[in-house]
Amino acid sequence: MKILVANRGEIAVRILRACRELGFPSVAVYSEVDRNARHVRFAQEAVCIGPANAAESYLNIGAVIAAARQCGVDAVHPGYGFLSENEAFARAVESEGMVFIGPRPGTIGQMGNKLTARKIAEEAGLPVLHSLNIELNSAAQALELCHELPFPLLVKAVAGGGGRGIREANNFQELEQVICTASQEAGAIFGNNAVYIEPLVRSARHIEVQILGDGHGKVLVLGERECSIQRRRQKLIEETPAPNLSNSLRQSIHKAAWQLGKWLNYRSLGTVEFLLDPAGNFYFIEVNPRIQVEHPVTEMVTGVDLVTAQLQLAATGQLNYEQEQISVRGSSIECRIIAEDPECQFLPDTGVISDLAEPQGPGVRVDSALFVGLQVTSDYDSMLGKLIVWGETREAAVRRMGCALQEFRISGVKTALPFLSQIIQSQAFLQGNFDTNFLDQHQPELLAQADKVDGALVAVALCQWLQQYDQHHQAQPDSGSSRLSQLFTPWRMAALQEQVR
Amino acid sequence: MLRYRVWIDQEFYLVEINGDRIQVNGADVVPSALTALNEQGLFQFQQNGHQQEMHIQRESLQQFHVTIGGHHVTVDVERERSNGHSGKTRSPELQVGEVYAPMHAVVIELEVKEGDKVEEGQPLLVLEAMKMQMKINSPCAAAVRDIFFQPGDRVEKGELLVKLNPL
């Protein structure tokens, strides 16, 4: 089975690596700025599908299909983001006689409309939040209808997902404004400006369940993931099993996800997302009909390679697992390594990776597409990679994550590494008592506690180096060497220290 | 004696090296022990008994990128000439009334036009990068003098976006 991976970055590397292991020939696609990207080198063949602008390349159905046809592939894996939740793309793949590695296009379409997804979940017997099951196209219409619901409210894009196109409103004035902005944003991001309204659950946790179906009635549950630590409604840290969750509640949530999977006769990987309120009530939010960024934590505790399972299902139509074989051992945590500055409202940073050391050791996994020389541009997502750890207990996993974060060295762009360390080391995180407001509540204190760069120390080290450099160049003006390190071989340093004494 | 003027983020340090004596902002400090680990700017770095790794990347004659303990900072260094003057003068504060692009981005929308009066914190324009929109707000009450970009333009990090006449 020859597979085209219609994605970039770490997830493309992840999928192409699985193709290699299974002996499936593979094709990578890339945009003009990604010519030297790491995923390109993981495939046997690679095809340029257009300019940097994603709309003209990674989101361009025609270009991806043309590449698939040109290379004669048997199947297409969409990864996450880009075209992964695009029903038209899945249909286009199938109409070429190729396998779409994911749910049936019909399922993607149903889950893509958040109101339809809610209705189906309700029919399947899942608890959903009481809301207006109406697509709103104007603020006036909303104001007429929303007196049925108490504030605070959330305005969400009907075609939304992944935490985008969501706005909060605390009163009528805000609602009017928020509907306009949310609607505009939805139109710009998802190409559909319809929005709907649901109550905002305060202090809710975000818990999601990994399902895997064969499309012939078999649906497996591979545990849940706790994803409450978010910035701008984007996940930052995920873990499994969810801490502080009673076994009965855990089983109820798993059962609900399984019920929906059965109802949909689900094929391939999917994630059923729930809100859990402080009283222990949980509500269906949405289904992500694709592989998730945070899938590795599930792999770490179950030992199931989710991508391999997906590829084998696509190749043979069968899943090699039974529910009884799935068990969870230990605890796993993932940190998203983002090129953003938490001290500056998570402002993304760009640059060239000039040095890199990824952490190692037992129970440590790094999924990234980083290499020294990589140009981090503003064209795509700011996630550079993911650090995942496993431990026999949650405490062990937290300690291991703390050490692994310290070991991670990325030069060339600002990253959230110091801030992630601070979160992982905090009592609040260790206790596992958190909800989606964690960062809003704790960010100021975490940033205040975060170890700052010792500016004086850096200044002294740099000036000492410069002094040596200048002396060297005065002595040998024509040497032409600008290598920093030649001046600081160990013996030179010893000599310098000798002088200092 | 050698004097260096160093800026790290918004902080300023005056480093004086006089033989084996090193002072920062007038206070004596212990010299750091650097050992090069490779030819690519990676150093082992010892201070107060702690071993750390430090990466130095020279960006230009006076600008460096330094990575230490997960932090990545840009450092500007000027060496003061023997006559006591630095090559170029630069105040530690940014020029009032100049608004720079905080990152490489695309201009999405202008919220003001030249000649407009703006309040402190009022949005001047909207940038987008990495799927995120950000408003660039006025640092002070001012009149908008020049706007250097149009919607759709790409801007580099540190480029001058707007010039203001503070009121």
- The confidence band for A60, taking pLDDT boundaries of 50, 70 and 90, is very high
**Interface contact A411-B57, CB threshold 8 A:** yes
Structure tokens at A155: 């305005």
Res. A65: pLDDT tops 50? yes
Rg of chain B on CA atoms, in Å: 20
Within 8 A by CB and 6+ apart from A475, the residues are none
Give me the mean pLDDT over the A74-100 stretch.
Answer: 97
Quick one: pLDDT at residue A232?
A: 84
**Interface contact B72-A487, CB threshold 8 A:** no
* Chain B residues closer than 8 Å to A410 by CB: 67, 72
Task: For residue A170, count other CB atoms closer than 10 A to its CB.
Answer: 12
- Which of B15, B22, B81 is the mutation pick for testing A, counting most A CBs within 10 A? B15
Structure tokens at B105: 């981005």
Q: Which residue of B has its CA nearest to A455?
A: B8
A 157-176: CB under 8 A from B: 164
Quick one: pLDDT at residue A297?
A: 98
Q: Round to the nearest angstrom and report the end-to-end CA distance of chain A.
A: 68
Res. A372: pLDDT tops 70? yes
Residue type for B161, please?
A: L
Residue type for A336, please?
A: R
Quick one: pLDDT at residue A498?
A: 42
Residue type for A449, please?
A: Q
- The confidence band for A140, taking pLDDT boundaries of 50, 70 and 90, is confident
Distance CA(A235)–CA(A381), nearest Å, equals: 13
β-strand pairing of B117-118 with B142-147? antiparallel
Structure tokens at A467: 């002094």
Give me the mean pLDDT over the A333-353 stretch.
Answer: 92
Residue B153: alpha-carbon gap to chain centroid: 23
Q: In what order do the strands lie in the sheet with B42-47?
A: B27-29, B21-24, B11-18, B2-8, B71-80, B63-68, B50-58, B42-47, B33-36
Among the partner-chain residues B34, B40, B57, the one whose CB lies closest to the CB of A461 is: B34
Min Cα separation A372/chain B (Å): 10
Quick one: pLDDT at residue B87?
A: 40
β-strand pairing of A75-77 with A99-100? parallel
Q: Which residue of B has its CA nearest to A486?
A: B39
The candidate with the shortest Cα–Cα distance to A234, out of A395, A416, A404, A399, is: A416
Quick one: pLDDT at residue A208?
A: 98
3-class DSSP state for residue A415? coil
- The confidence band for A292, taking pLDDT boundaries of 50, 70 and 90, is very high
- The confidence band for B128, taking pLDDT boundaries of 50, 70 and 90, is confident
| A229 part of contact set with chain B, CB < 8 Å | no
Distance CA(A362)–CA(A397), nearest Å, equals: 11
B 74-133: CB under 8 A from A: 75, 77, 79, 102-106, 129-132
pLDDT tens per residue across span A419-448: 999 999 999 999 998 999 999 899 999 988
| A405 part of contact set with chain B, CB < 8 Å | yes
| B45 part of contact set with chain A, CB < 8 Å | yes
Res. A499: pLDDT tops 50? no
- Which of A338, A466, A498 is the mutation pick for testing B, counting most B CBs within 10 A? A466
CB B77 within 8 A of CB B15: no
Give me the mean pLDDT over the A133-159 stretch.
Answer: 78
Task: For tokens 């630590």, name the residue.
Answer: A229
Residues of A that are catalytic = 290
Distances (CA, A) of B130 to A56, A248, A346, B11, B28: 16, 41, 11, 28, 44
- Which of A232, A374, A378 is the mutation pick for testing B, counting most B CBs within 10 A? A378
Q: Round to the nearest angstrom and report the end-to-end CA distance of chain B.
A: 44
Distance CA(A224)–CA(A240), nearest Å, equals: 6
What is the three-state SS of chain B? CEEEEEEECCEEEEEEEECCEEEECCEEECCCEEEECCCCCEEEEEECCEEEEEEEEECCCCEEEEEECCEEEEEEEEEECCCCCECCCCCCCCCCCEEECCCCEEEEEECCCCCCEECCCCEEEEEEECCEEEEEECCCCEEEEEECCCCCCEECCCCEEEEEEEC
Within 8 A by CB and 6+ apart from A250, the residues are A224, A241, A242
What is the three-state SS of A133-163? EEEECCHHHHHHHHHHCCCCEEEEEEEEECC
Quick one: pLDDT at residue B95?
A: 55
Size of interface A-B (CB pairs under 8 A): 176
Res. A46: pLDDT tops 90? yes
State residue A90 phi and psi, 5-degree precision: -60, -40
Min Cα separation B87/chain A (Å): 15
pLDDT tens per residue across span A160-182: 876 777 889 888 888 888 888 88
Give me the mean pLDDT over the B86-99 stretch.
Answer: 52
The candidate with the shortest Cα–Cα distance to A425, out of A206, A226, A237, A235, is: A237
CB A210 within 8 A of CB A269: yes
Beta bridge partners of A169: A153
**Interface contact B66-A458, CB threshold 8 A:** yes
- The confidence band for B96, taking pLDDT boundaries of 50, 70 and 90, is low
Of the listed ranges A359-363, A422-426, A458-462, the least confidently predicted one is A458-462
Res. A7: pLDDT tops 70? yes
| A455 part of contact set with chain B, CB < 8 Å | yes
Please give the mean pLDDT across all residues of chain B. Answer: 82
Quick one: pLDDT at residue A166?
A: 87
Quick one: pLDDT at residue B62?
A: 83
Give me the mean pLDDT over the A455-463 stretch.
Answer: 89
User: Helices marked H in A82-150 — which ranges?
Assistant: 87-95, 105-112, 114-123, 139-145
* Chain B residues closer than 8 Å to A452 by CB: 71
Distance CA(A127)–CA(A121), nearest Å, equals: 8
Distance CA(A106)–CA(A88), nearest Å, equals: 10
Quick one: pLDDT at residue A476?
A: 56
Distance CA(A109)–CA(A89), nearest Å, equals: 11
Task: For tokens 């059923």, name the residue.
Answer: A272
Task: For residue B62, count other CB atoms closer than 10 A to its CB.
Answer: 18
Query: Can you list the positions of beta strands (E) in A174-218?
Result: 195-199, 205-214
| B63 part of contact set with chain A, CB < 8 Å | no
Quick one: pLDDT at residue B81?
A: 61
Quick one: pLDDT at residue B94?
A: 45
Residue type for A18, please?
A: A
The candidate with the shortest Cα–Cα distance to A374, out of A17, A21, A36, A42, is: A36
Distance CA(A399)–CA(A331), nearest Å, equals: 12
Res. B84: pLDDT tops 60? no
